[in-house]
């Protein structure tokens, strides 16, 4: 699977030292370009992703010797995706009118990989909304730890909302300390 930086979701950072353009997005250069001729010459099956989910994309991929394409953004915006219907509609409308702006944000994801952020009014893509968000457990264990009057930590987060990290932490019986929680989480 060969994915260009145009792909939705995470993308690989540029090779070498990460340089940012004036808008704060990673700059990809010649070292990031894929020589599809050389890949095809290996004789192994490959698929192309990142901006190929269009009417002509599959044809371009076949022409380059690929078996097919991997599509993400189009599926995220289709009726069957789990994305909120209102958000999907706004994203599709903005995209259709050519007004949709998507930035490749090198800081948005805790993984450290650049991550696509679509600019949609009233969502976390806006600085003010982001700054005003309810703080979650920065330790990544539980989403809403809070400190009880006696100083112990309570958890309101139902197990159905636990992240895989929460589940692992619970299995190891590790809990964030009161001091650690108090630095970022206030009682709720």
Ligand X SMILES: Cc1cc2nc3c(=O)[nH]c(=O)nc-3n(C[C@H](O)[C@H](O)[C@H](O)COP(=O)(O)O)c2cc1C
Binding site for ligand X (CB under 6 A): 3, 6-9, 49-51, 53, 70-74, 76
Q: In whole angstroms, how close is the CB of 72 to ligand X at the nearest point?
A: 2
Query: For residues 3 and 181, which CB has a smaller minimum distance to ligand X in the complex?
Result: 3
Q: In whole angstroms, how close is the CB of 164 to ligand X at the nearest point?
A: 13
Q: In whole angstroms, how close is the CB of 147 to ligand X at the nearest point?
A: 34
Q: In whole angstroms, how close is the CB of 91 to ligand X at the nearest point?
A: 11
Query: For residues 9 and 140, which CB has a smaller minimum distance to ligand X in the complex?
Result: 9
Query: For residues 144 and 163, which CB has a smaller minimum distance to ligand X in the complex?
Result: 163
Beta bridge partners of 128: none
Query: For residues 7 and 157, which CB has a smaller minimum distance to ligand X in the complex?
Result: 7
Query: Residue 152, Cα to own-chain centre: how many angstroms?
Result: 34
Query: For residues 72 and 154, which CB has a smaller minimum distance to ligand X in the complex?
Result: 72
Tokens 């950072």 map to which residue?
13
- Backbone angles phi and psi of 43, in degrees to 5: 80, 10
Q: In whole angstroms, how close is the CB of 173 to ligand X at the nearest point?
A: 29
Give CA separation, 148 vs 22, 181, 183, 187, in Å: 46, 11, 14, 7
Structure tokens at 57: 């994309």
Residue nearest to ligand X (CB): 72
Residues in the chain: 188
Q: How far apart are CA 87 and CA 158, in angstroms?
A: 25
């Amino acid at each position: 699977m060969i994915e260009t930086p145009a792909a939705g979701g995470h993308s690989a950072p540029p090779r070498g030292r990460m340089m940012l353009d004036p808008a704060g997005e990673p700059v990809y250069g010649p070292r990031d370009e894929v020589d599809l001729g050389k890949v095809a010459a290996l004789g192994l099956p490959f698929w192309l992703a990142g901006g190929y989910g269009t009417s002509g994309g599959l044809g371009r991929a076949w022409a380059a010797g690929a078996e097919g394409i991997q599509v993400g953004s189009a599926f995220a915006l289709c009726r069957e995706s789990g994305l909120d219907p209102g958000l999907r509609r706004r994203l599709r409308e903005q995209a259709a009118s050519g007004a949709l702006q998507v930035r490749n944000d090198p800081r948005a994801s805790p993984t450290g990989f650049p991550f696509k952020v679509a600019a949609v009014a009233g969502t976390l893509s806006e600085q003010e909304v982001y700054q005003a968000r309810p703080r979650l457990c920065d330790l990544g264990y539980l989403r809403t730890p809070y400190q009880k009057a006696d100083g112990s930590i309570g958890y309101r987060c139902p197990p159905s909302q636990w992240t895989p990290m929460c589940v692992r932490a619970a299995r190891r019986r590790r809990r964030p300390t009161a001091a650690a929680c108090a630095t970022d989480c206030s009682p709720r």
